Amino acid sequence: MALGGTGGLRGGVAIGELAVVAHRADDSLRRTDGSRLRAPTAGCRLLATRSRQYCLAVDRFVLHPSGPLHGTVCVNGAKNSVLKLMAACLLAPGVHRLDNVPVISDVAIMSDVLRAMGAKVVQEGRGAQGHLQITIPQDVTPIAPYELVEKMRASIVVLGPLLARYGTARVSMPGGDDFGYRPIDFHLSAFEDLGATFVAEHGYVDGHCDHLVGARIVLQFPSHTATDNILMAAVLAKGTTVIENAAREPEIADLASMLTEMGARIHGAGTSRIEVEGVDELRPADHRAIPDRVEAATFVAAVGLAGGEVLVKGARHEHMDMLLEKLRQMGMECTPTDEGLLASAEGHRHSVDVATLPYPGVATDYKPLLVTLLSVADGVAIVSENLFAGRFRYIDELRRMGAKIKTEGHHAIVRGVPRLSGARVRASDIRAGAALVLAGLVADGVTDVSGAEHIDRGYESLDQRLSALGANIERVSSP
Ligand code: EPU
């Protein structure tokens, strides 16, 4: 069990009744008898109760070779901000509003996590008009059940707000996933530093405290979600909390900005030292999420592969500095404009070496996109993964499309080929799935990417938005 630094753990907790999750069906879902469920909004609506299993339509993206891309695409709100902003609502009873919320299945899962606790969550609109109204009651059921956490490990970010506001939380421990083993020890030991104690048994972690008390927390590694979680706990702790070696992602600064709107006192979010002065209570917020830098990068990478010129509207170039530098070294033009980022490319890219690092380094989430670009670039590149050991799995699929890639530990050696060759491939996670879709833009013949549900976790209507730029892509439901 990955509970380093949790010396206070003891056994003996029985799993209580799991909350039944309110749900509403969506047209991307199928019943177990194969018939379709109808719903007013597109996107992947997921169901989880004790009696019903999640049941997803088995959709694929089918691509034919595409010419250069042209036009404008708008970037949606950042998934990795929105999920934490949703959890932050637990810190104050009342009605919160979040704007710029994409219709993606991870948002649907987090909505169900909050509903399972007694919150009312209503999502309306799409793209830049997408928003959530979240009503948090005075008292919630502080449980994040296995059925939901298993679907989305980011659900762990409810732990901090629940401990801070209710002094108790029962959260299913996330297991391994497509990136390999992903522990939560930094989260738990930080909460222990703030005065919480934990019991772990039957796959759940049960946290308790009379009241969290501010402390100095030094993270071994600048973990993004651990920083979010600690920040959300510290805002209601007694006294001052300092997070050293904090993650610096723009989504953390976005979370801090919403918490500040709620009445929190935070200094240094977005730097590696965050100081939080605890307050007694917070009020509901009305907050607009920042644009998704990984989604923006996906459209820029699409231009790098297919060529053309696309305005990625809303993209914040200052959130993507290192990536844009790499893309320029590869021969792309990426020009910040008043509206976003103008990406253009012609001819072949040149190979460059890439190493993933915590922000502001090249994000691990960009890596599948970069490896796909390098697969058809002139020359040889070494790509090193420094965050997630298992994040090379999609490379087998790229090899099936003719890419010349060797992996050795956490390094990949990518030897560019002139074109890829269309094949049936499978998405194993959100970013790997997006990268395989992009590979289809420069593959001869037909590329058939199954596992669309992984892509739906993080991208709203990826096929339609690429198609509007001229990509030859359609979404197909398997019989
Ligand atoms: N780590 C630990 N113990 C912990 C927490 C993290 O050892 O308690 C390790 C991890 O195993 C990993 C490293 O620290 O080796 C960094 O992980 P981090 O905690 O920063 O990742 P995360 O917060 O779980 C977020 C994003 C990921 C993104 C990473 C890195 C969310 C919901 N997820 O994950 O996004 O890849 O940061 O930037 O914010 C995605 O959007 O598809 C995605 C996977």
pLDDT tier for residue 177 given thresholds of 50, 70 and 90: low
The predicted model gives 116-140 an average pLDDT of 97
The number of angstroms, rounded, from the C-alpha of 14 to the middle of its chain's C-alpha atoms is: 31
Q: Which atom of ligand 1 is nearest to the CA of 364?
A: 36
Let me know: does 141 contact 166? Beta carbons within 8 Å.
no
pLDDT of residue 298: 98
37 or 114: which leads in pLDDT? 114
Q: Which residue lies with its CA nearest to atom 24 of ligand 1? A: 225
Tokens of 308: 């053309």
Output the CA 154–ligand 1 centroid distance in Å: 9
Output the CA 121–ligand 1 centroid distance in Å: 26
pLDDT tier for residue 392 given thresholds of 50, 70 and 90: confident
Q: Which residue lies with its CA nearest to atom 39 of ligand 1? A: 80
In angstroms, the CA 435 to CA 437 distance is 5
Let me know: does 73 contact 313? Beta carbons within 8 Å.
yes
Q: How many CA atoms lie within 13 A of 430 on its CB side?
A: 19
Closest C-alpha among 141, 87, 132 to residue 110: 87
Catalytic residue, candidates 177, 185, 396, 448: 177
Output the CA 95–ligand 1 centroid distance in Å: 30
pLDDT of residue 182: 78
Please state, for a pLDDT cut of 90, what percent of the chain lies above it.
Answer: 82
Phi/psi for 382 (5° steps) reads: -110, 125
pLDDT tier for residue 17 given thresholds of 50, 70 and 90: very low
Residue identified by tokens 């909350």 is 19
Beta carbon of 227 within 6 Å of any ligand 1 atom: no
The predicted model gives 346-369 an average pLDDT of 96
pLDDT of residue 22: 28
pLDDT tens, position by position, 248-296: 999 999 999 999 999 999 999 999 999 999 999 999 999 999 999 999 9
Output the CA 274–ligand 1 centroid distance in Å: 19
Which of 187, 225, 430 maximizes ligand 1 atoms within 8 Å of its Cβ, making it the mutation to test the pocket?
Answer: 225
Q: Which atom of ligand 1 is nearest to the CA of 106?
A: 32
pLDDT tier for residue 57 given thresholds of 50, 70 and 90: low
Beta carbon of 285 within 6 Å of any ligand 1 atom: no
Q: Phi-psi category of 379—alpha, beta or left, where left has phi over 0 and alpha has psi -120 to 50?
A: left
In angstroms, the CA 447 to CA 421 distance is 8
The predicted model gives 364-382 an average pLDDT of 98
Beta carbon of 454 within 6 Å of any ligand 1 atom: no
Beta carbon of 183 within 6 Å of any ligand 1 atom: yes
pLDDT of residue 358: 97
Average pLDDT across the chain, whole number: 88
pLDDT of residue 14: 23
Residue 177: strand, helix, or coil: strand
Q: Which residue lies with its CA nearest to atom 14 of ligand 1? A: 223
Closest C-alpha among 407, 397, 351, 401 to residue 374: 351
Q: How many CA atoms lie within 13 A of 48 on its CB side?
A: 23
The predicted model gives 175-194 an average pLDDT of 84
425 or 52: which leads in pLDDT? 425
> How would you class 11 by CB atoms within 10 Å of its CB: exposed for 0-12, middle for 13-18, buried for 19 or more?
exposed
Give the single-character DSSP code of 213: B
Closest C-alpha among 175, 189, 269 to residue 221: 189
Q: Which residue lies with its CA nearest to atom 37 of ligand 1? A: 224
In angstroms, the CA 301 to CA 291 distance is 17
pLDDT of residue 15: 24
pLDDT of residue 100: 98
- Using N-to-C axis directions, what is the helix angle for 367-375 and 293-306, rounded to 10°? 0
pLDDT tens, position by position, 19-43: 222 233 232 333 333 333 333 233 3
Residue 112 has pLDDT above 50, yes or no: yes
CB atoms within 10 A of CB 417: 15
Asked about 321 being catalytic, the answer comes back as no
The predicted model gives 50-63 an average pLDDT of 62
